[in-house]
Structures are given as structure tokens and as C-alpha cells.
Amino acid sequence: EDKVVQSPLSLVVHEGDTVTLNCSYEVTNFRSLLWYKQEKKAPTFLFMLTSSGIEKKSGRLSSILDKKELSSILNITATQTGDSAIYLCAVAHSGTYKYIFGTGTRLKVLA
């Protein structure tokens, strides 16, 4: 059965800390891996990764995919209270339209 597992389940840090969120997957016919940030409502798209070893970066956020290890990390440097959210990882299935989601990592950043 296809699955996506995120760790840790939750994390509390102080402003200015750097955090690393993990996503591992067991999915037949992998197409891409996506990261989303979910605050009080809809998940908002952060990154899509298709190739191993190529870092995607947006401001203080960055992510990389390791297809050999079947995993991805999302790094957030110099965290701010506005980074507090649930971070979701999803894997797109090649050959179907399905996306398999992890249960998310809940990040809380304290001032």
C-alpha cells in the first residue's frame, strides 16, 4: 500500500531557530513530491520536487528530494511566528491522478 510518513508529528521552537521537517514515502510509480503549508484554512503550495539532489529555495524555506532514500526534507531557517502551521507532504502518483498525503508536521514557533 502506498504511504507517506512525516516526522516529527509536532515541533515547538523559538523564533530564530532552524528546523528540518522530514517526509518519507513508499509509493509505486513516483512522479513528484510536493510540500504545502496549512494555516487555519487551505493548504498553500510551497514546492514541487521531481529530481533528486536539486534544492528548491524560496526565501528562508528550502527543500530537497532524495530518490535513493525515498525521502525529502523541508528546511526553514530563522523561523518566525508566522511560520507556525501544519506542513504537509504529498506524493503524486505517475499513471493516475492521485496524490498521497502524509498526516503533516505541526510546527509552532514561539516569540
Partner 1 sequence: DVKVTQSSRYLVKRTGEKVFLECVQDMDHENMFWYRQDPGLGLRLIYFSYDVKMKEKGDIPEGYSVSREKKERFSLILESASTNQTSMYLCASSLSGGARAQYFGPGTRLLVL
Contact 6, 90 (CB under 8 A): no
> Closest distance between partner 1 and the C-beta of residue 33, in Å?
9
> Closest distance between partner 1 and the C-beta of residue 85, in Å?
14
| Residue nearer to partner 1 on the CB measure, 67 or 98 | 98
* Euclidean distance between CA atoms 51 and 106, whole angstroms: 26
| Residue nearer to partner 1 on the CB measure, 17 or 101 | 101
**Would you tell me which residues interact with partner 1 (CB under 8 A)?**
31-32, 34, 36, 41-45, 48, 50, 88, 90, 92, 97-99, 101-104
| Residue nearer to partner 1 on the CB measure, 41 or 68 | 41
Residue with grid cell 503549508, as numbered in its chain: 37
Residue 1 CB-density burial (10 A; 0-12 exposed, 13-18 middle, 19+ buried) = exposed
> Closest distance between partner 1 and the C-beta of residue 62, in Å?
17
Q: Write phi, then psi, for 81 (nearest 5 degrees).
A: -60, -30
43 prior amide bond cis, ω within 30: no
| Residue nearer to partner 1 on the CB measure, 45 or 78 | 45
> Closest distance between partner 1 and the C-beta of residue 79, in Å?
23
